Amino acid sequence: MASERPAPVRRPWWADDLAHAAMFLTRLPVPAPVRTDRPLMHAGWAFPLIGLLTGTLGGGVLWLGASAGLPMLAAALGALAVTAFLTGALHEDGLADLADGFGGGATKERKIEIMRDSRVGSYGVLALVLATGLKAAALANIAIASPILAAFAFAAAQILGRSAILPIAFFLAPATSSGLGTGAGRPKAVTTGLCVALGTLLAFSLLPGIGFIAALAATSLAILATALLAQRQIGGYTGDVLGSSEQVVECFVLLTLSALPAGAAGFLWPL
């Protein structure tokens, strides 16, 4: 008698999308999505949830380090190291490639060629050093006022950073006919709207009041700056543009929050 075939795996569409997003944006062991033909961007509504996961884990490390008596800067660097490990430095790699391409290429074709090169140049190294230093300094400054506030701010920045990816992919066109940016597909309007709404709601739950308004303003400015720069430099987006947008948003959000007066009323729920 022929052996019976195992029953096909059944999973709710939202769980499949979440698995797809987690498998791409992190290095965590997650079950593979059942629908392998569904483009990544169609599951992009779940990106803010991945940001919540990485931000919570990284923020927890920051809070634990600060509570254990570590220097605030060391605790902040620990949080950044944890999230880079969880994501395989995916977004940092995009930032480095974008800096090398935009800084070293004279034409659109040359910029894209440099961005596709796996080697990191001087512009890329400088971009990573500046981004890491700025984020660590901002987190340390917030943590001086309250380590738990810094942990919440970090989680919100991670959420908003990943929420920025879909709007750029929706409003810009792919800069090339191949590569990750094109292969991931174009997000639908409803998917983009859901991603932005979910990211906004999650950020508000962590940063109500003036902190929430400041973070949203910083996110909007970072998205606009990244989109305009990419359009001017290469006429659209690539996977590196989308990845770097997450890092740019994180920097803008954390720097903005760190500039608010310590303990400002409404920055966070009373602690």
Residues 216-249 have pLDDT tens digits of: 999 999 999 999 999 999 999 999 999 999 999 9
Q: How confident is the model at residue 1, as a pLDDT?
A: 46
Distance CA 201, CA 1 (A): 55
pLDDT digits (tens, 9 = 90+) for 147-162: 999 999 999 999 999 9
Provide long-range contacts, Cβ within 8 A and 24+ apart, for 17-24. Answer: 17/42, 17/43, 17/45, 17/46, 18/43, 18/46, 18/49, 20/46, 21/46, 21/47, 21/49, 21/50, 22/46, 22/50, 22/53
pLDDT digits (tens, 9 = 90+) for 179-204: 666 677 788 999 999 999 999 999 99
Torsion sign over Cα 254, 258, 261, 265: positive
Q: Which stretches within the chain are classed as H helix?
A: 13-25, 47-67, 72-87, 90-104, 108-116, 122-145, 147-163, 165-171, 180-183, 189-206, 210-234, 239-259
* pLDDT range class, residue 262, cuts 50, 70, 90: low
* pLDDT range class, residue 271, cuts 50, 70, 90: very low
Residue 264, pLDDT > 70, answer no
Residue 117, pLDDT > 50, answer yes
Give φ, ψ of 18 to 5 degrees.
Answer: -65, -40
Q: Which helix (H) or strand (E) holds 42?
A: none
Question: How does DSSP assign 126-172, residue by residue?
Answer: HHHHHHHHHHHHHHHHHHHH-HHHHHHHHHHHHHHHHHTHHHHHHHS
* pLDDT range class, residue 25, cuts 50, 70, 90: very high
pLDDT digits (tens, 9 = 90+) for 29-57: 888 877 777 888 899 999 999 999 999 99
Q: How confident is the model at residue 5, as a pLDDT?
A: 58
pLDDT digits (tens, 9 = 90+) for 123-149: 999 999 999 999 999 999 999 988 999
Mean residue pLDDT of the chain comes to 90
pTM above 0.85, yes or no: yes
Ordered by start, the domain boundaries in the chain are 44-259
Residue 269, pLDDT > 50, answer no
Residue 265, pLDDT > 60, answer no
- Residue with the two structure tokens 């987190």: 139
Q: How confident is the model at residue 270, as a pLDDT?
A: 46
Q: How confident is the model at residue 8, as a pLDDT?
A: 55
Residue 12, pLDDT > 70, answer yes
